[in-house]
């Protein structure tokens, strides 16, 4: 059958293959971790979207009403864009107050 030297060579080859397999497994795990870190921002955006969605349904119409009232009040002078931008700071403050209440 096989001599002792042949078995030793086969056992060495088996050990080499096992070690290579372990090394490849570790490389794959490290690469998966790098990919998870690289696309982590996607899950953070999804989570932010989930948190903002209920507020957006309420705040969007309110912002539209506030914008319409602001434009109606400022009747003359400046274009639509300048009037809309004039309301932006107060709308942003309202949004921050509702979405990120201070502790």
Considering Cα of 86, then 66, then 95, then 97, what sign does the dihedral take? positive
Divide the 103 residues of the chain into consecutive groups of 10 and give the mean pLDDT of each group: 75 95 97 89 83 82 78 59 74 72 51
- Which residues, 6 or more positions from 71, have their beta carbon under 8 angstroms from its beta carbon? 80, 83, 84
- Return the H-helix or E-strand segment holding 35: helix 4-38
- Total-model pTM: 0.41
Considering Cα of 86, then 91, then 96, then 102, what sign does the dihedral take? positive
pLDDT of residue 75: 53
pLDDT of residue 86: 76
């Amino acid at each position: 059958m096989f001599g002792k030297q042949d078995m030793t060579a086969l056992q060495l080859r088996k050990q080499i293959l096992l070690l290579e397999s372990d090394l490849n497994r570790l490389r794959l795990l490290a690469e998966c971790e790098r990919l998870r870190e690289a696309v982590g921002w996607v899950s953070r955006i999804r989570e932010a979207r989930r948190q903002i969605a209920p507020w957006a349904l309420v705040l969007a119409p309110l912002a539209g009403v506030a914008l319409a009232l602001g434009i109606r009040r400022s009747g003359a002078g400046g274009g639509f864009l300048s009037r809309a931008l004039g309301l932006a700071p107060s709308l942003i403050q309202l949004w921050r107050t509702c979405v990120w209440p201070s502790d």
